[in-house]
Amino acid sequence: MAQTTKNKEYDFVIIGSGFGGSVSAYRLSQKGYKVLVIEKGKWFKNADDFPKSNWNLWKWLWLPTFKMFGLFKMTIFRHATIFSGVGVGGGSLVYANTLPVPKAPFFKSKSWAHLANWEKELKPHYQTALKMVGAARNPRLFDGDKVLREIAVSHGHEKSFEHTNVAVYFGKEGETVKDPYFKGEGPTRTGCTFCGGCMLGCQHNAKNTLDKNYLYLAQKLGCEIIAEREVVDVQRRENNAHPYEITFHRSTAYFKKKEAVRAAGVVFAGGVLGTNALLLKLKEKKSLPNISDQLGFGIRTNSESLLGVTTERRDIDFSKGIAIGSILDVDKDTHLEVVRYPEGSGFFRTAMVPAVMGSNIFIRLGKVFWMYLRHPIKYIRAFFVPDWAKYTQIMLFMQSLDSTLRLKRGLFRLKTALDKGPAPTSSIPMAHKLAEEFGEKTKGTVHSLSIEVLTGLATTAHILGGTCMGASPQEGVIDSRNRVFGYDNMYVCDGSMISANIGVNPSLTIMALTERAMSFVPAKGKIVSGSRKPVAKKTIAKKKAAVKKKK
């Protein structure tokens, strides 16, 4: 059963509990603020709350219309298919734990480099975030990682092959210990079993999801978290103390009774799709009319391609390990990761077709049928492989090359349009070449997601942008400290603030940017209403004395 709020007035209401929302919750609570976090998804508190495989669609997929309240969401647009996470802890529930620091081109991108020396300023905040989520180097390589290392060696890139840095507790396998990270203030942790189940929600208490660090510690400081609530309106009213009214309703019910709370400040942290959808709605219906017209622009897909290689060999097990245990930097703009689901999680088998490229759907479909006609036995064997997850290696290919889309309101839902550069595409020759090489080394068949073949468009789990940073409202939606132009005490802290193509998993960077933004927020009692600048207590006292004397 969903929770209810304990109060009607808060210093800050945070909409979303992912990487930005959780950091905001903890840091604002530390500074003495009364904080409420509102999360659309469910609260997965026990191992049994998570799906044991992705065939358990009711526990895995988020499709409220069909009473599916899982932690994984797929959204199909005209220009891209988006994977995202839902639940208390947001994307940390379903992401592959990886925490890479981006390469220099990201920090120097002309889209935001003029706002700050990002590489220098974010460096300490990267370190803080890594410590908070218990980042550690993956200690073990498994079958898929070893093949990736072979490819690195064959291309002369052995030095560019690395074990991933991940948010996982690598204690003694299966052994539960007292909190090893926060001097006993955090929850117990259990040593990773390398089962490959990271992206289904860790059932072994080894994955350092946000509910086990930032959110856990925020709650100990008095922060409230309510799940299964979706914010539908945010209005600014004439009230000096708590000017923002936040309206929300049950996200898991057909009959949605509205509730409302008031706040002095608001942090939008509902992820790219959630935050952009809500802000576009609020701007259109005049709840927050002063939001910049740049809202929805600068959407980036991380230039990704997803391919699968299904092996005929039975001495290989691609399901063992952590979700992503290794990474290969192919060049300064490109890197490749091997991704795994746990044994028995073969849902994506139903969505795979031969991997082909082509400029239009007729060429691609023609190639698919030709592949089936040319190698029928091979593709039949691949489709009916005994355990798809065990014998299929997913290959995630990312580039930091820049092109952007735009999100805007449609009749019933968000829709995409082209912004700058070419449309994102799954037809990346280098990705297909490397997947074929992986297949040759493992006696495997290369597949693509059918949606990619049908549309020719990219699938991404790392959608970014839409409320990008700028020096003014004419250039961006938020400033370099994440403050929304046109409104006091209003912030955006999630993937929608990322203002350049990152080329790697963005989770660490979202946390680092949010740590930086929250570092500028003064402790409670040190800010004058309506001002963005911290003011010393003596200054406030002098002003009050002057007013009293004047009276």
Q: What is the pLDDT of residues 512-543, one digit of tens each?
A: 999 999 999 999 987 444 444 443 444 434 44
Question: CB of 13 within 8 A of CB of 224?
Answer: no
pLDDT of residue 80: 85
At 52, is the secondary structure helix, strand, or coil?
coil
79, 335, 432, 462: which is the annotated catalytic residue?
A: 462
Cα(417)–Cα(408) distance, integer angstroms: 8
pTM score, whole prediction: 0.92
pLDDT at 402: 65
**Residue in 175, 409, 461, 421 with CA at minimum distance from that of residue 277:** 409
> Rounded to an integer, what distance in angstroms lies between the CA atom of residue 165 and that of residue 507?
12
Confidence of residue 404 (pLDDT cuts 50, 70, 90): confident
Q: Rounded to whole angstroms, what are the CA distances from 146 to 209, 442, 505?
A: 27, 11, 21
Give the gyration radius of the chain's Cα atoms: 24
- Two tokens, residue 247: 């309206």
Please say if the pLDDT value at position 546 is more than 60. no
User: Annotated catalytic, 462?
Assistant: yes
| Mean pLDDT in residue range 506-510 | 97
d(CA 383, CA 385): 6
Length of the chain: 551
- Tell me the per-residue pLDDT of 137-183, one tens digit each, with 9 for 90 and over: 999 999 999 999 999 999 999 999 999 999 999 999 999 999 999 99
User: Which sequence spans correspond to the domains of the chain?
Assistant: 1-134+208-300+462-520, 137-168+303-459
Question: Which position has the higher pLDDT, 44 or 416?
Answer: 44
Q: Is the CATH number of domain 1-134+208-300+462-520 3.50.50.60?
A: yes
What's the rounded Cα separation, in Å, for the pair 353 and 331?
Answer: 28
In this structure, the strands spanning 490-492 and 258-268 are: parallel
Average pLDDT value for residue range 177-203: 96
Residue 108 to residues 237, 478, 501, Cα–Cα distance (Å): 40, 19, 11
Burial, 350: exposed, middle or buried (Cβ in 10 Å; 0-12, 13-18, 19+)? exposed
> What residues contact residue 405 under an 8 Å CB cut-off, 6+ apart?
79, 80, 299, 300, 301, 416, 417, 418, 419, 423, 424
**3-class DSSP assignment, residue 88:** coil
Tokens of 10: 């808060």
In angstroms, how far is CA 324 from the centroid of its own chain? 15
Q: For the segment 27-50, what is each residue's pLDDT rounded down to a tens digit?
A: 999 999 999 999 999 999 999 999
pLDDT tens for each residue of 90-103? 999 999 999 999 98
Res 3 pLDDT > 80: no
Residue 306 to residue 492: CA distance in whole angstroms: 29
Q: What is the pLDDT of residues 282-323, one digit of tens each?
A: 999 999 999 999 999 999 887 788 899 999 999 999 999 999
pLDDT tens digits, one per residue of 104-125: 889 999 999 999 999 999 999 9
Position 247 scores a pLDDT of: 97
> pLDDT digits over 379-401, tens only?
999 999 999 999 999 999 887 66
Q: Which of 77, 140, 78, 128 is nearest to 101 (CA)?
A: 128
Mean pLDDT, rounded, of the chain: 91
Tokens of 231: 């914010």
The CB density around residue 501, as the number of other CB atoms within 10 Å, is 27
State yes or no: pLDDT of 236 exceeds 70.
Answer: yes
